[in-house]
Structure 1
């Protein structure tokens, strides 16, 4: 409890005999393909750790894309746009390349999905449409990470892993482990949870 005092100080607390009891409502997690066996819980924990590692990059991608588009709107000449792209390319290379090189292939798979969640565009489309400025984000030095399907989409209503990703994200937003950034394509999490609850009930 004392280790958490600087994180959350408004949790309901009561004393029961010689113990201090914290009352905290945890989010519901619908378990389907991942059952509550130890090995499956370990898969969820690994997924959680990957999300914590790569979400900041996905959020940064969305932030940079928004800023890039805003700045391009005020640049009229192609010469000025090329200069700006060069500045963006240098920034992305210096800021992200060393850290992206340390990610695993599995981290890259989650990152590609989260890029789609945060920007509304697949990684493939981002690279295709923004070759000059965006290429540094996916440089050849990080090819081992991105030797993947760059067209992969984030589909939490169709893919149960994506549903688990969304569940973990919502919990981390709520506890402030990750900074909240809404999905580019809005997701009604209550509706999403109900969809999977109904679907998994039918499969039983």
Structure 2
């Protein structure tokens, strides 16, 4: 019976899975496809296509800055699928749906006004909240775009202790060449 449990745990390890939880964001915050993808952890998905799609109405953001525009509730379906020309129910090997709550900016605890005695102390350290709002939303709500899906190919992370020294070697080469040039220039002067 021990070999059976080992076999089942091996097959479970190879099965792709998705770890993601419901999210809450606020109008005025930045939201991009990369941020949405970062909410999910895709396990055993090396070489497979991973992504998400918004079920129903797309999420409204400003065209410049990807700032959330409208409060609302959205369902987001994360998936892992086999590479194919067209994703279909046959190619999907794992999926998970979460709820994204976009709350009004006034509901953001970071925007709450402080009690009177704390307000005076904080005003000298932080800029006025009204100035931040004006700069964060330089365009009107008419210039909108939507976030409705994104996908990428999952990549295997480097193993512990594995490094990529290519950039470091190139940088050291540039420093050596520059040093030799300066040394030679000083000798000629």
TM-score under structure 2 length normalisation: 0.22
TM-score under structure 1 length normalisation: 0.21
**Taking CA–CA contacts closer than 8 Å with sequence separation of 6 or more, which of the two structures ends up with the larger relative contact order?**
2
Higher strand share: 2
